[in-house]
Amino acid sequence: MSKEYPSSLVTYHPDGSNEKTTFGSKKEYPAMIKKEKWVNSDGWRGYTDWELKEGYIEIADGWVTSFIDSTVERKRELSEMFEDLQEGKIKPPCEIYWLFGITSNVFSTASAIVIEKENEEVLAKWLDEINGGIEGVKEMLS
């Protein structure tokens, strides 16, 4: 990936705090990232994707946008969840790692939500309580 367009990671902690880091080279990868790559979806388009290290799982992946209209209404609830996590209004039961990277579409950003594998059950229960569970988050990111 280009250092000109680094990826970002926001880590949400159970105490309601969060921290943002950016990374653009193998030397800077966060602990859960084994490899970052560009995936060509055709001759002109593509997106950032991440290969995770053992012990981490991806809960959902897809794209986010700040241009929410009726065609992508499902993104509104995801945006609200992100803002609530940012402001500490909701506190996750375990650390959540939310990755962001470039796409060829200037209006969207590649995104993945990652956790430690051992926390899958506790996170699934929490998501069921706040917004439709893991399947709901997958739908919002799709």
For residue 10, list its beta bridge partners: 20, 98
Q: What is the pLDDT of residue 71?
A: 66
Q: What is the pLDDT of residue 94?
A: 98
Strands 109-116 and 46-52 turn out to be unpaired
Token pair in block for residue 60 = 């959902």
Residue ranges of the chain whose pLDDT lies below 50: 1-3
Q: What is the pLDDT of residue 2?
A: 46
**What global pTM score does this model have?**
0.91
Number of neighbouring beta carbons within 10 Å of residue 42: 7
Q: Quick one: which of 11, 41, 39 has its CA closest to 23?
A: 11
Contacts of 53 (CB under 8 A, 6+ apart): 31, 32, 33, 34
Helices (H), 11-141: 74-86, 120-131, 133-141
